[in-house]
Amino acid sequence: MSAPIVFIDGDQGTTGLQIHERLRNRTDIKLFTLAAAERKDARRRAEAINACDIAILCLPDAAAREAVDAIVNPAVRVIDASSAHRTQPGWTYGFPEMTPGQAERIASARRVTNPGCYPTGAIGLLRPLLQAGLIPSNYPIGIHAVSGYSGRGRAGVEEHERQDALNAPSFQVYGLELAHKHVPEIQTHAGLAKRPIFVPAYGAFRQGIVLTVPLQLRLLAPDVDGATLHACLALHYADALHVRVLPPHEASVLTHLDPQALNGTNDMRLSVLLNEEHGHVLLAAVFDNLGKGASGAAVQNLNLMLTRQ
């Protein structure tokens, strides 16, 4: 049996480049990309995507939809790293650890939509707690996250790494219209009845994310406390290879959260931080926006899908 052909469409962006880097030395697949002169040739791209076994789309949303529409070969399977299909029927959400059986669903899926970077952290924290009934679905959720500038794509990298990068901002909060495109994805896959408030920011570091969700214990059931929330997350991710929940004795001595702590990995670290006196809890996720938040997740999904080739 010949090695499956994996086609990366859009391998020149930040996500595509890292996927290519993670896959280029593998011998169990035939990795294929288009030459520079062919990347904007619709006919050539259609030929390439219909000749592969699995296509990984690292494209803007509109281009990703066009690429999927060009598929006429029913055997072609897709991992879409854009946000075009993350809440669309017929697409399997590519977060293997999200819920029991999700990895198996991804393995057998024809169409997989890679999670967004911010939603990976938010859903990773919230979905198990909502599913267990520890957080009500109508809780007024607020989310704050700080990402490395690569989260802006090539524009962010160029702004911070060009010769006059001294003029690049050291920190900026954005999405002030409170309508970030990741919000519907977070609401849908976390299981929230109401839109969360999401406030993102970029820092002057290349990659990595810290995402936090504050909770008021007085708004939860009387028997829910920090220990209950931690136990739920710890049980949910007990067998997860790429998600670790910090035990309470480690979380209690934290003095800061480093967004770059897991850079270069496909891992995510979750924490439940507690102030018992005031009844406040802070849920926190640390991961690489180009790892578990993008390229690493795509490769993880690819590996699952290769088991069902």
Q: Residue 1 pLDDT > 80, yes or no?
A: no
* φ and ψ at residue 276, rounded to 5 degrees: -65, -35
Helix (H) or strand (E) segment spanning residue 285: strand 280-287
Measured in whole angstroms, how far is the alpha carbon of residue 85 from the centre of its chain? 14
Q: Are residues 223 and 284 in the same domain?
A: yes
The tokens for 16 are 């595509």
Do 250 and 300 contact (CB within 8 A), yes or no? no
CA pseudo-torsion sign 257, 258, 259, 261 = negative
Q: Is the pLDDT of residue 135 over 80?
A: yes
Q: CA 48 from chain center: how many Å?
A: 26
Residues 132 and 233 in one domain: yes
164-168, 170-174, 233-237: least confident range: 164-168
For the chain, what is the domain count?
2
How sure is the predictor about 161, in pLDDT bands with cuts at 50, 70 and 90? confident
Dihedral angle over CA of 236, 239, 243, 245, nearest 10: 60
Residue 168: how many CA atoms within 13 Å on its side-chain side? 20
Q: Say what the pLDDT of residue 99 is.
A: 97
Judgement on whether residues 105 and 148 belong to the same structural domain of the protein = no
Tell me, yes or no, whether 234 and 276 share the same domain. Answer: yes
* CA–CA dist 289, 147 (Å, integer): 7
Does 251 share its domain with 301?
Answer: no
- Taking 80 as the threshold, does the pLDDT of residue 163 lie above it? no
pLDDT value at position 265?
96
**Mean of all residue pLDDT scores within the chain:** 95
Q: Is residue 165 scored above 90 in pLDDT?
A: no
Has residue 164 got a pLDDT over 80? no
**Res 166: pLDDT:** 73
Q: Among this protein's residues, is 232 annotated catalytic?
A: no
286 and 184 inside one domain: yes
Split at pLDDT 50, 70, 90, the class of 87 is: very high
Q: How many CB atoms lie within 10 A of CB 7?
A: 24
pLDDT for res 56: 98
Contact 298, 114 (CB under 8 A): yes
Residue 302 and residue 223 in one domain: no
Q: What are the distances in angstroms from CA 39 to CA 7, 8, 49?
A: 12, 11, 12
User: Each residue of 12-47: pLDDT tens digit?
Assistant: 888 999 999 999 999 999 999 998 888 888 899 999
pLDDT of residue 142: 98
Same domain, yes or no: 135 and 265: yes
Q: The domain containing residue 45 runs over which residues?
A: 5-115+294-306
Quick one: 175 and 64 in the same domain? no
- Tell me the CATH number at 101: 3.40.50.720
Average pLDDT over residues 121-138: 98
Using the CB atoms, write b or e for 162-198: b if 16+ within 10 Å.
Answer: eeeeeebeeeeeebeeeebebbebbbebbbbeeebeb
Residue range 232-244, pLDDT digits in tens: 999 999 999 999 9
Please state, for a pLDDT cut of 70, what percent of the chain lies above it.
Answer: 100
Could you say which of 52, 58, 117, 232 is catalytic? 117
Q: What is the pLDDT of residue 277?
A: 95
Give per-residue pLDDT as tens, 258-307: 999 999 999 999 999 999 999 999 999 999 999 999 999 999 999 999 99
Q: What is the CATH number of the domain that holds 168?
A: 3.30.360.10
248 pLDDT above the threshold of 80: yes
User: What pLDDT is attached to residue 153?
Assistant: 84
**What is the predicted pLDDT for the residue at 11?**
82
Per-residue pLDDT, 39:
84
Shared domain for 230 and 179, answered yes or no, is: yes
Evaluate if residue 169 carries a pLDDT over 90: no
Q: What is the pTM of this model?
A: 0.95
More confident residue, 167 or 191: 191
The verdict on 39 and 174 lying in the same domain is no
Does one domain contain both 176 and 264?
Answer: yes
Q: Which pLDDT band, with edges at 50, 70 and 90, does 308 fall under?
A: confident
The answer, yes or no, to whether residue 247 has pLDDT greater than 80, is yes
H or E stretch including 147? strand 142-148
> How many residues are present in the chain?
309
Q: Which residues of 210-240 are buried (b: 16+ CB within 10 A; e: fewer)?
A: bbbbebebeebeeebbbebbbbbbbebbeee
State the pLDDT confidence band at 130, using cuts at 50, 70 and 90.
Answer: very high
